[in-house]
Amino acid sequence: MQVYLNGQYMEETQATVSIDDRGFLFADGVYEVVHIYRGRPFEWERHLARLHRSLAGINLTGVSDQELTEARDHLMSGVTAEEAALYIQVTRGTQRRSHAPPPAGTIAPTVLMWVRPVDPIRPELVQSGVAVITTADDRWAKVWIKTIGLLPNVLAKGKAMEAGAFDAVFVRDGMVTEATSANVFRVSDGVIQTAPVTNYILPGITREVVIELARGAGMTVIEQPFSADALYGADELFLTGTLTEVLPITRVDGRPVGSGSVGPVARELLHLLRRQAGIA
């Protein structure tokens, strides 16, 4: 597989970064993941805009849209898979270890990009839905920055897997924020609900698109906080994310959600999303 690293294309086995890279030492960097459907990047502009917000959030400059777009096109041209993921990671660059960030513009950021085929979400997961557990949201207060510092997410995902579940849903002060790499929605009495955009969630592009699609189809969507208890009483629950798409949740902490099988709203929104992506 070809990767893009700091202005050059190379085989992944040739791509190396320094032991002094601030991404390696401090998780001092941000990232994006874009879903490529049949050679078309889904919602590229929104991903680019969010990447710039994340970069601004960590005071990092020096990454141009032209560089990212050219590398994207070059990497995509080598991939024939029906579906693929484009990964973009920007770290503050390489400098002898010091907490003090270098003054803006004094060292070049490390820019890494690759495109890899992805397997579409396994049909049996979409058919039967997935199980989640709830767990304390012990992340920092700038979750809106898509930082590569994902240790709390990794630990929560591991906890879910140990419990035989697919994912963990974070709960902060009794309220649901999101999952480890997806946003969370509930449906109750025909109303679709998700946590509002605050500094405690990552404002998902899929979340935004799904809200638009639902409203466009005449459904009611409210962006209001809901409690962990409201998960148990929901008619339907689902996750949204770039690679997760719309994934129904049918068990929370071992309890069935609604009827215990996948509901019509999640099914319909997955269909609308894939149609929007030009794949359904």
Query: By CB under 6 A, is residue 270 in contact with ligand PDD?
Result: no
Q: Is there a catalytic annotation at residue 157?
A: no
**Exposure class string for 203-239: b at 16+ Cβ within 10 A, else e:** bbbbbbbbbebbeeeebebeeebbebeebeebbbbbb
Query: By CB under 6 A, is residue 205 in contact with ligand PDD?
Result: yes
Q: Residue 28 or 245: which CB sits closer to ligand PDD?
A: 245
Pairing of the two strands 29-37 and 40-41: antiparallel
- 204 CA to centre of own chain: 6
Query: By CB under 6 A, is residue 177 in contact with ligand PDD?
Result: no
CB of 182 to ligand PDD, least distance (A): 5
CA distance 124 to 64: 41
The interface with ligand PDD within residues 182-201 (CB under 6 A) comprises: 182-183
Taking contact as CB under 6 A, which single stretch among the options 22-30, 108-116, 180-188, 216-224 is the one that binds ligand PDD? Answer: 180-188
CB of 153 to ligand PDD, least distance (A): 6
Closest-CA residue to 210 (of 274, 132, 164): 274
Query: By CB under 6 A, is residue 207 in contact with ligand PDD?
Result: yes
Taking contact as CB under 6 A, which single stretch among the options 9-17, 124-132, 156-164, 176-184 is the one that binds ligand PDD? Answer: 176-184
Q: Could you tell me if 131 and 249 are in contact, meaning their C-beta atoms sit under 8 angstroms apart?
A: yes
Q: In a 3-state reduction of DSSP, which class is residue 171?
A: strand
Residues forming the active site: 146
Residues at the site binding ligand PDD, with contacts judged by CB under 6 A: 33, 178, 181-183, 202, 204-207, 240-243
